[in-house]
A = this chain, B = another copy of it.
């Protein structure tokens, strides 16, 4: 398998999961914003020039949550939950929470603080995005009360929405009222598989 990757991006989720499963993989490494991500070599693989992209034999797949469901179903059934599981709905809801709720404002924050040239950045929009991101974490804080992971034991949901929580904390969302999420982020960051993904 091969992963098109950039540090500090959603591609960390994919490598983290591959490390959790213990599957061998190669990495093709970019830096976020790097020109080559929009060049013809890579856009012939992913027309949006985004990471991650996973190549698995003759399968090419993008979208980090899709990749997580693909890898779980193909290689790690113990990390996914099916309709017979009591946690099925909880698992699905929190698996999708990152992209549905958290990543919109996070993307806006990154646009206004990193991707736009300094003279075009708008600090008011960056602040609005940061506050909105914090607000989306409230429901997660409640969910994590008394829980170690999002849906019982560790699942692919933790590599997706857990990663969004870690990123939100690094972007300086106010975590002072989020003790459960602080402990959760610490717990995830301590996992050897996460640390291996961070070291790529």
Contact = CB atoms under 8 A, between A and B. Distances in A.
Nearest to A125: B125
The count of identical subunits is: 2
Interface stretch (A16-24, A58-66, A163-171, A184-192): A58-66
A69 interface: yes
A63 B104 contact: no
B89 A47 contact: no
A99 B100 CA distance: 6
Interface stretch (A1-9, A28-36, A135-143, A174-182): A135-143
Nearest to A141: B47
B99 A96 contact: yes
A73 B66 CA distance: 16
